[in-house]
Amino acid sequence: MTGLTDLTQKPFDLDQMLMQIQEENANPVATPASGMLTRPKARPETPTGDDAVLAILQRLDSGVETSLAAPNTSLRPVARPTIDTAKFMRDAGIRTEYVPTSAPETSLRPIERPADLGEKVSGDADTGSGEGLMSRTSSPMPLSDDNEKNLFDGITVGESTDFNTISTTSKITPPKPLTEMTVGEVRDWQDRSVAAGSSSSAAGRFQIIRRTMDSLIDNGTISRDDIFNEETQMKAYTDLLDRRGYSKFRTSIAAAETPEDKTSIARDFQLRLAKEFASIPVPFAIKKNPRGGYPKRDLVAGDSYYADPSADGLNEARHTSEDFLNIIMGFA
């Protein structure tokens, strides 16, 4: 049978063929030429199963169909159920709210302030003690023994012997004695002094410059509202010694067993103090800083750490290296 041959060689869509048969059966009966209505033929039942296959084969053999239409391969859209995404994630143990991986950083970085022209840069990063510029609430050093008094005198004789002292290079004077001004007022005057052309903003008995004053305020040793009197300046002095490892020095030199060890510890502490107070001499030769910081030139024992050829002798040591070392060795 031709139909069987075609059926085995061409794709076959049974549903479509059955729909065609149904449509033909549903066509209205034609009106005859006489104009009289005739009874419509009984609508045959739509074949199913094997009968449907035989009907299709008969149509093929009789020539009603010359080929079978290609199957309808188009996909009907599938209705997808609505998914509650949030519920699904909760059931799966997935957190849906935003959780930061770390707390936002709220601390403010300290503002880098430029050093005054020609001034020593106090607060040198090389403290050597690990104490550095930590926040503290210092009490004035009591100067309870002769060694502490000798150290105090050795430092102040080179810096200043009066709590109202200002730099000899200052172009303007404070509106009143420093010990009657607040720390904030002194700090503002330092800015005006440098703006007026002063080479240094050093103020008080320990000749504190702007950058050092800022560090003392930032770490809580003093506040801008404090009166810059003897007590406040002594708090500053105590802090300046602490940041250079004074407490560790006292412990280490007391525990040292040999004179050589004691001398080595004393010389190390002298260098730390020389980095804080320009009037203190370095204990040994030091090469010029190749990165442009201090020392500005090659130093020999007895030079100020802040000696600067371009500063017209602004920072000079006020002791010999041996004399100041003897003061420190008194703690041994």
Cis peptide before 100 (omega within 30 of 0): no
Cβ-count burial of 297 within 10 angstroms (0-12 exposed, 13-18 middle, 19+ buried)? Answer: middle
Residue type, 83: I
What mean pLDDT is reported for the chain? 75
Residue of 66 and 176 predicted with greater confidence: 176
pLDDT tens-digit profile of 222-279? 999 999 999 999 999 999 999 999 999 999 999 999 999 999 999 999 999 999 998 8
| Domain ranges for the chain | 1-25+47-70, 146-243, 246-329
Residue type, 181: M
The whole-angstrom separation of Cα 170 and Cα 173 is: 7
CB 220 within 8 A of CB 136: yes
For the cut 50, the answer to whether the pLDDT of residue 140 exceeds it is yes
Query: According to the model, what pLDDT value does residue 125 have?
Result: 41
pTM greater than 0.85 (yes/no): no
For residue 173, the number of C-alpha atoms closer than 13 Å in the C-beta half-sphere is 5
For the cut 50, the answer to whether the pLDDT of residue 100 exceeds it is no
CB 200 within 8 A of CB 213: no
Query: According to the model, what pLDDT value does residue 159 have?
Result: 73
The whole-angstrom separation of Cα 312 and Cα 297 is: 14
